[in-house]
Amino acid sequence: MIYNVHHLHCGTMCPVCAPLYGQKGFYGKMVCHCLLIETDKGLVLVDTGFGMQDYLHPQARLGKLFSKVSAIQSDFNLTAISQIQKLGFKPSDVKHILVSHLDLDHAGGISDFPQATIHILSSEYNAAQKISVMNKLRYRPQQFKNHRYWNFLEPRNGEAWFNFHKVQGFNIFNDEILLIPLLGHTAGHCGIAIKQQTGWLFFCGDAYYSHLELDRKNKLPLLDKLEFAFAENNSLRLKTLSEIQNLAQTEPQIDIICAHDPTDLERYIQNA
- What is the chain's pLDDT, residue by residue, as a tens digit (272 residues)? 789 999 999 998 865 554 455 556 555 678 999 999 999 999 999 999 999 999 999 988 998 878 777 778 889 999 999 999 999 999 999 999 999 999 999 999 999 999 999 999 999 999 999 888 888 889 999 999 999 999 999 877 779 999 999 999 899 999 999 999 999 999 999 999 999 998 999 999 999 999 999 999 998 888 898 899 999 999 999 999 999 999 999 999 999 999 999 999 999 986 54
User: What are the CA-CA distances from residue 250 to residues 14, 247, 253 (Å)?
Assistant: 34, 5, 9
In this prediction, residue 15 carries a pLDDT of 58
Count Cα atoms within 13 angstroms, Cβ side, for 255.
13
What is the model's pLDDT at position 217? 95
Q: Is residue 180 classed exposed, middle or buried when 0-12, 13-18 and 19+ CB atoms within 10 A define those classes?
A: buried
Asked if 36 and 5 touch (Cβ cutoff 8 Å), the reply is yes
Q: CA-to-CA distance for 195 and 161, rounded, in angstroms?
A: 12
Question: For 94-125, what is each residue's pLDDT tens digit?
Answer: 999 999 999 999 999 999 999 999 999 999 99
Q: How far apart are CA 240 and CA 259, in angstroms?
A: 15
| Residues with Cβ within 8 Å of residue 6, at least 6 apart in sequence | 35, 36, 37, 38, 83, 87, 272
Most distant CA pair in the chain, distance: 46
Angle at which helices 234-250 and 221-230 cross, to 10°: 130
Nearest to residue 194, comparing CAs of 116, 268, 112? 268
Residue 88's beta-bridge partner residues? Answer: none
pTM for the full model? 0.94
